[in-house]
Amino acid sequence: MAKIEKSELLEYFLAEAEDYLNVIGCGLPQLESAEAADKNAILEELFRAAHTLKGAAAIVKLTVTSRIAHSMEDIFEAFRNESLPVSKDATELLLLMLDSIANILRDISAGGEENESLEGKYSERIAALLASSGGAREPAGVPFRAEEVVEPKKEDMEYSFGNFIRLELRKIEEMFNLIGEVTILKNHMLKKTKNAGDLSEEVLFAGRRLLEEVNRFAERHSYSINDNTKYVDPLFSEFGELEFDRYDEQNIFSRKVQELTEDITEAMKELMGFYETFQDDIKSLDRVVKNLRSDLSDSRMMDIGRLFQRFVRPVKEMAREAGKKIEFQISGQSTKIDRVIFENLFDPLMHMIRNSVGHGIENSEDRAGKGKKKEGTISLSARREGINIVIELADDGAGIDTGRIIDEAVRRGLVGPDVRLSREEILSLIFLHGFSTAAQTDMTSGRGVGMNAVRNQIANINGTVELSTEAGKGTTFRIRVPSSMAITNVIVFNYASMEFVMPTSLIEEVVQYEPMAEKVEVEGLERVGNMVNYRGATIYAKRLSDVFHVTGNGRTERKDGFVIICSVSNKKVGLIVDDVFAQEEAIIKPINRFLDGLSIYSGITISGDGKVRLVLNPLKIFEEETRTLTIAPSEAESFEGRRVLIVDDSLSVRKYLTAFFLARNLRVYTAANGSEALKELEENEVELVVVDLEMPIMHGYELVSRIRSIDKLRHIPIIVLTSRSTGKHKEKALELGADEYMVKPFDERTMEDALRKYALLQTV
């Protein structure tokens, strides 16, 4: 079963525990002097912090921490009920308990264990305090042992554990946006710097020529005097011809021009020196921006092994349901990938894994009859190739029957009965919307939208998917995606003086355009249109004028140019463009709503000189070329697995539950409070809600009540998962409409039984 690592879960817990301890540490000193209205608000915040800390500690098996937090929660509840007055003794005791938790968590962050001796330091004082309140106290676990009280130091009031901080993903995205703005500005400065350098070179060259001309002029006229020379300079009016040393107006002018030119030349040399220094500074800025972007990107990178582990249990369950024996192998788990890409790969990979289990791997008897091992093999691997990540999903099953694909294509009217297709064209048919060779439709196959959805989902993250197959030996799907979505490498090209870009991750190669005859033979088949030769093979190409349907505009098509080679639906295709300028880094922004209908564009970028460039999507450009008939839309694609909404203000609890449900092939949505949960329920359909009781903004009781009051939501089963174990809390939750009531830490079998009860897990 795929599980979240304990060390990773502890990191999440320590990060949020730091926040809760600081909330309590800051709130306690304010409690005694606060006004009544403010005191209630402070108490609510303190109670919720202690309650959440207790539940989160229990989830990560820190029982001592959970019990101390439980006792703090009891005291805060007595304050709220006014059965216990807020006093100096009580707040001092709470601060001592807080310090004990901090000491425990410091030991944990340093790799140690919980110090059980801290659990009993204040047991007598706690018992006496709660007894004076006259209220019943929920058991906090084993009795505390009385020991000497240690006063906390002032510096201990700041709670920080480990070498990490909590940072919202939104903040990281905002920083990436700023990096994007800096990158655009940097590209602009680099372009202007280049222009300034070219201009400086021209001016310096002109200055040298001017100096040469002036020097030649000065040499010719230094000592020549015209007969009609008139001395007009007052400075020389008192000198005779001989006393004047034979200098005239012409000589003086040439000397002055020579001196001025030398001054200009010297100034230009200094300017060039400044420019070279400035250029070095710009290059240094470029390096700093790249390093900053790289470091920031690393904060969003994840081991792809965490994604691969999600498929371990589903493969076993699917194999058991299909009555097959399958070994699931994974490799390349340490390959780093962007979180955005990571999250968008689960559905496509699950589609392909289901195909491998359901259609690829044969049953044991058939495999034995073919001389194969009875146990089939499915392997999932990842590796880095340059700036891209290549993910391969391979099986040693029966392979894809191309004859069956053709028969099904003819039956569905996708191709004519007499049309001959190449092997690439046959395999590309499985990516068409509505195409399937499944004999019957069930929950997971036969709807004809799976591989089409896979292709589109991968294209949305600037990736491509290809397949290779061999009858009787198996099939391999190869996904190529960029390692990061923060900054995208693009190719800049133009058509009719308009600039466009395309991500390099979608491009195989750029070659010189060499037109072929309008009719050519490909693998014995006659093909008509723009065909180009690519590495000895003839492939279909499209001009941008065809893409934009530009005809009769008086523009003569260029006979030269370039072809951008792309892989679309297992086929190589080419896009003919006028010029390819360069490869550069760019920030791709989504297009505005008024361009939503133009699917050939996947976004926009801004060039260094401020021009807006459209990002072309080759999948959409060539989509029509992969079919011969438009297919009517089929029913909407179903999700892989049922959907669960987790509502809990504890990050570590959300992480633990997410890992638990993902391991059971369920899709998970999360919310930190009831208000966020209602927004999620508006946007997404779910089959189950798991909710905590104590949460900020909107608590669990109110959320349960709100769900039951909304017609379209009232049918959804609700499981309350809380650290509240008393009967009164359970009765209230069930009365409001909850279906199940569980106490943290929950028993996994009990949760699985509930999932089976509500048809979210296969009944064993």
Lowest mean pLDDT among 10-14, 409-413, 525-529: 525-529
pLDDT at 415: 73
More confident call, 709 vs 763 = 709
Torsion of CA 545, 546, 548, 550, to 10 degrees: 60
Q: Which residue has the higher pLDDT, 274 or 475?
A: 475
How far apart, in whole angstroms, are the C-alpha atoms of residue 603 and residue 595?
10
CATH number of residue 519's parent domain: 2.40.50.180
Please say if the pLDDT value at position 331 is more than 70.
yes
pLDDT (tens digit per residue) in 11-47: 778 878 887 887 888 788 777 777 766 788 888 888 8
Residues 510 and 617 in one domain: yes
For the chain, the average pLDDT equals: 76
At residue 457, the pLDDT reads 85
Residue-wise pLDDT for 123-169, tens only, equals 778 888 888 765 444 444 433 333 333 443 433 444 555 555 556 66
Region 687-707 average pLDDT: 90
Same domain, 452 and 332: yes
We report the CATH number of the domain holding residue 69 as 1.20.120.160
Query: What is the predicted pLDDT for the residue at 56?
Result: 86
pTM, rounded to two decimals: 0.51
| Share of residues in the chain with pLDDT > 70 (%) | 74
Q: For a pLDDT cut of 90, what percent of the chain falls above it?
A: 11
**Boundary of a domain, candidates 417, 451, 482:** 482
- Long-range CB contacts (< 8 A, 24+ apart) of 70-75? 70/138, 70/140, 70/141, 70/723, 71/97, 71/122, 71/126, 71/140, 71/144, 72/24, 72/97, 72/98, 73/47, 74/126, 74/130, 74/137, 74/138, 74/140, 75/126, 75/129, 75/130
Q: Tell me the pairing of strands 667-671 and 643-647.
A: parallel
What pLDDT sits at residue 702? Answer: 92
Final residue belonging to a domain, choices 255, 277, 298: 298
37 and 138 in a single domain? The answer is: yes
Question: How many domains is the chain partitioned into structurally?
Answer: 5
CATH number reported for the structural domain that contains residue 656 in this entry: 3.40.50.2300
Terminal Cα-to-Cα distance of the chain (whole angstroms): 16
Residue 122, in any domain of the structure: yes
* CA gap 352, 358 in Å, rounded: 10
In this structure, what CATH number is given to the domain that contains residue 322?
3.30.565.10
Domain hosting residue 610, numbered range: 488-624
**Which pLDDT value is given to residue 450?**
66
278 vs 752: CA distance, rounded Å: 65
Single out the residue of 713, 757, 718, 760 nearest to residue 739, CA to CA.
718
Question: Which has more pLDDT, 98 or 32?
Answer: 98
114 and 102 Cβ atoms separated by less than 8 Å? no
Give the span between the Cα atoms of 450 and 574, in whole angstroms: 26
CA distance linking residue 572 with residue 531, whole number of Å: 11
Strand, coil or helix: 603:
strand
Do both 616 and 585 map to the same domain? yes
Least confident of 151-165, 266-280, 467-481: 151-165
Q: Are residues 230 and 196 in the same domain?
A: yes
Q: Decide if 425 is inside a domain.
A: no
Token readout for 489 is 């490498």
Give the pLDDT score at 390.
Answer: 93
Distance CA 458, CA 435 (A): 18
pLDDT at 244: 47
Specify if 635 maps to a domain.
no
Q: Are residues 191 and 141 in the same domain?
A: no
Q: Of the ranges 27-36, 308-317, 382-391, which one carries the lowest mean pLDDT score?
A: 27-36
357 in the same domain as 265: no
Judge if 461 and 353 occupy the same domain: yes
Q: Is the pLDDT of residue 9 over 70?
A: yes
Predicted confidence at residue 338, as pLDDT, reads: 85
Residue 147: what pLDDT? 38
Q: Indicate if 187 and 250 belong to the same structural domain.
A: yes
Domain membership of residue 441 (yes or no) is: yes
- Domain match, 360 and 461 both: yes
Q: How many CB atoms lie within 10 A of CB 149?
A: 12
- Indicate whether 102 pLDDT > 70: yes
Higher pLDDT, 411 or 366: 366
* Residue 145 DSSP class: P
How far is 59 from 721, CA to CA, in rounded Å?
11
pLDDT tens-digit profile of 418-448?
A: 777 777 778 888 887 666 655 444 434 433 3
Position 580 in a domain? yes
- Whether 666 has a pLDDT exceeding 60, the answer reads yes
List CB contacts of 180: < 8 A, sequence separation 6 or more: 487, 587
User: 501 CB contacts (<8 Å, ≥6 apart)?
Assistant: 490, 491, 492, 493, 586, 605, 613, 614, 615, 616
Whether 516 and 593 map to the same domain: the answer is yes
Residue 164 lies in a domain: no
Ranges assigned E (strand) in 168-262 = none
- Tell me what pLDDT residue 90 has: 86
Question: Residue 752 falls within a domain, yes or no?
Answer: yes
pLDDT at 190 over 80: no
Most confident of 103-107, 137-141, 580-584: 103-107
Same domain, yes or no: 203 and 104:
no
Looking at residue 136, its pLDDT comes to: 43
Residue pair 570/464 in contact by the 8 Å Cβ criterion: no
725 in a structural domain: yes
CA dihedral 187, 190, 194, 200 (to 10 degrees): 140
Of 452, 482, 512, which one is at a domain's C-terminal end?
482
Q: Which residue, 352, 353, 366, is CA-closest to 323?
A: 366
Using alpha carbons, list the distances in angstroms from residue 247 to 21, 237, 244, 259: 93, 12, 6, 16
The CA angle 414-418-423, to the nearest 5 degrees, is 70
